[in-house]
Amino acid sequence: MTVSSSTLKLAPEAEARIDDLQRRYPTKAATLLPVLWEIQTQVGWLPQEWMAYAAARCEVPVSKVLGVVSFYTMFHQEQPGRHHVQVCRNISCTMLGAEAILACVREKLGVTNGGRTADGKFSLEEVECLAGCSWGPVVQINRTYHENMTPEKTAQLLDSLE
Amino acid sequence: MTKIITKNWGVKDSHLLSVARANGVYSNLERVLKTPIAPKDVVEAVKKSGLRGRGGAGFPAGMKWSFVPQNTGKPIYLCVNADESEPGTNKDREILERDPHLMIEGALIAAWAIGCRTVFFYIRGEFDLPERRIRAAAEEAMKAGIVGDNVMGSGWSCDFIVHRGAGAYICGEETGLISSLEGGRGEPKIKPPFPAVKGAFGCPTVVNNVETLCAVPWIMEHGGEAYAKIGTEKSPGTKVISVSGRVKRPGNYEIPLGYGLKDLIDNECGGMQDGYRLKAVIPGGSSVPVMKPEQVATLKLDYESCQAHGTFLGSAGCIVVDHTQDMVKLLHVLARFYSHESCGQCTPCREGTGWAYRILTKIVQGRGTKKDIDTLRSLTQQMDGATICALASALVMPVQSFLKQFPEEFEAKVQETVPA
Ligand SMILES: Cc1cc2nc3c(=O)[nH]c(=O)nc-3n(C[C@H](O)[C@H](O)[C@H](O)COP(=O)(O)O)c2cc1C
Ligand code: SF4
Ligand code: FES
């Protein structure tokens, strides 16, 4: 498969950060994850044309980029809600009441695992252990951790988001 | 109790370079580089200390470093494993939040010891504050001439690159981590060759856990013998234990290895929360066999005592299970986790974890039979040891131990035969 080309460009600072990393990593292919993160941070998710951009930037086939994107749970092939609500469902959080929190989020948002509200404001994802077990149950919204959660606190938190 | 990893945690703003330097961070790196203490002598000191890997496998760190061939003409890499994703474990995260400079100091001393010029810091994608802290610390250290060219004026240079993961438990496995660092899916590779000989980019590579490396500056300051005097003979040093569940004060505690599990729960953690009784503990993260209260009473937190009790210290994530918990439901949660995280390369793991999850779903829903329990047993026997990495065994151990320790809970949920 031939390496694709792309006319897209990220913000200049992002392009500069990628240039810097490509000088420091032993191969361009190895900068694929950092490049995908730059795209997702700017665009919010990873549309096809941006995957082609990543392939060109890292000199790897598009098929490889697709394989990588689909492997990792944090790379989004569809646009998530503005507030991506991630509820830990693993063992310590389950013992401390994660199921009640999930039930609360499902009911409040009217979506199930993987779903997004019609207005695009929220999406819900059940996730595995977030390394916050001692302070569970844990809910992560976009990148921010919320610990020692209860259904009441979760409902208030969702209400407080713009 | 001697604190090595967590000694600066009580200090305000311990994550800032100025405060870290006042705490003595980087003084050991400086002495190693300026004396200079020859790389082989650093390796020797770490060997003498008996420091064992804190990521789960407990492999002696000094020995791993000594396996790195120095004559291949290829670059040598150090990968710091900050992918912390083993359920029950949240120690590396707090280390990075509170003392990122100690982490960098340990990594640079290790890099010097093995002849590495580029450290890759592989950090879990979900981590927010820990990533900001390590990036800010690396940036501060770079500006202060501690990381990068001519480290602390020694003439020796070492780059430090933060590489963010993207959500995959398997990238914590060292060869999965390497595949991910190389820009691929986080698929583990068959060993041998071991990473020390042929790792990242086909070059000699050492993968070490965050906590392992954080012990190295102390060892350089006090000597390997002093470290070996802490803990037990075969499990020297201290260990940070994460405690979760219904205890009064959950959290991370640094204890000398050999400390009693019951003492940790009763003293440091303040005992069980009011109204909750101890039912079981999974002492080493979700992948290890579960212990009942009578075993918890005698178990010491070190590699040998855990093994004598039929379990492992693992990543030392102590999951405290209280009397209100349903063991079948908890095992169902774990089976879902491991089947979700299987990378799919090996048939016994891919199919076995999924099958175990489906059987447990049936049992949890009251549709299971006695035969299903037998199938779970025989299925997991066949999965064990037949795979590229240890993820399959990481489900086998909880399944077999839950069935052995709490058979009545499983039997109570199943019927003799399928309902008509
Ligand atoms: C499925 C699986 C997941 C693992 N996850 C981690 C992890 O999150 N962090 C870690 O340090 N080691 C993890 N390990 C252990 C690593 O493979 C490796 O042994 C360790 O990083 C080596 O460093 P150490 O010797 O300093 O412990 C995992 C192993 C397996 C089999
Ligand atoms: S044991 Fe499982 S996770 Fe490990 S390599 Fe095989 S399929 Fe992947
Ligand atoms: S089990 Fe939820 S954060 Fe670990």
Contact B128 A89 (CB under 8 A): no
- State residue B156 phi and psi, 5-degree precision: -95, 135
Q: What is the CATH number of domain B238-322?
A: 3.10.20.600
Check: pTM over 0.90? Answer yes or no.
yes
Cβ of B314 closer than 6 Å to ligand 1, yes or no, is no
Cβ contacts (< 8 Å) between B122 and chain A: which residues?
Answer: none
Establish if A121 belongs to a structural domain.
Answer: yes
Q: Which residues in chain B are contacts of A140 at CB distance < 8 A?
A: 126, 128
* Residues A126, A105 share a domain: yes
Ligand 2: distance of its center to the CA of B389 in Å?
5
Is residue B90 within 8 A of residue B197, CB to CB? The reply is no
* HSE-up (13 A, CA, CB side) for residue A109: 32
CATH of the domain at A33: 1.10.10
Distances (CA, A) of B61 to B1, B15, B108, B114, B266: 23, 26, 15, 11, 32
Cβ separation A67–B185 shorter than 8 A: yes
- A51: how many CB neighbours lie within 10 A of its CB? 23
Structural domain including A110 reads 83-161
In a domain? residue A103:
yes
The interface pTM score, or ipTM, of the predicted complex is: 0.97
Q: What is the CATH number of the domain that holds A117?
A: 3.40.30.10
CATH topology of domain B327-411: de novo design (two linked rop proteins) (1.20.1440)
* Residues contacting ligand 3 via CB (< 6 Å): A 88, 90-93, 129-133, 136, 138; B 87
Q: What is residue B415's predicted lDDT score, i.e. its pLDDT?
A: 86
Check: CB of residue B368 under 8 Å from CB of residue B362: yes
What is the best residue among B346, B351, B383, B395 to mutate for testing ligand 2's pocket, by most ligand atoms within 8 Å of CB?
B346
Distance B90 CA to ligand 3 centre (A): 9
The nearest CA of chain B is from the CA of A54 a distance in Å of 11
pLDDT grade for B418, boundaries at 50, 70 and 90:
low
Q: How far is ligand 2, taken at its centre, from the CA of residue A96, in Å? A: 30
The amino acid at residue A117 is T
Whether residues A66 and A88 share a domain: the answer is no
Report how many domains make up chain A: 2
What does the pLDDT look like over B44-71, one tens digit per residue? 999 999 999 999 999 999 999 999 999 9
Predicted confidence (pLDDT) per residue in B101-122, tens digit: 999 999 999 999 999 999 999 9
Of all residues in chain B, the percent with pLDDT exceeding 70 is 99
Q: Which of A72, A134, A144 sits opposite B166 (nearest CB)?
A: A72
Domain co-membership, A67 together with A88: no
Q: Which B residues in the span 9-48 are in contact with A, Cβ-Cβ below 8 Å?
A: none
Tell me, yes or no, whether A77 lies in a domain.
Answer: no
- Render pLDDT for B347-388 as a digit per residue (tens, 0 to 9): 999 999 999 999 999 999 999 999 999 999 999 999 988 899
Q: Which residues of A touch B322 (CB under 8 A)?
A: 95
CB B277 within 8 A of CB B322: yes
CATH architecture of B17-228: 3-Layer(aba) Sandwich (3.40)
Residues A151, A87: one domain?
Answer: yes
In chain B, residues under CATH classification 1.20.1440.230 are 327-411
Q: Which of A78, A49, A55, A131 is nearest to B93 (CA)?
A: A131
Please check the confidence at residue A98 and state whether its pLDDT lies above 90.
Answer: yes
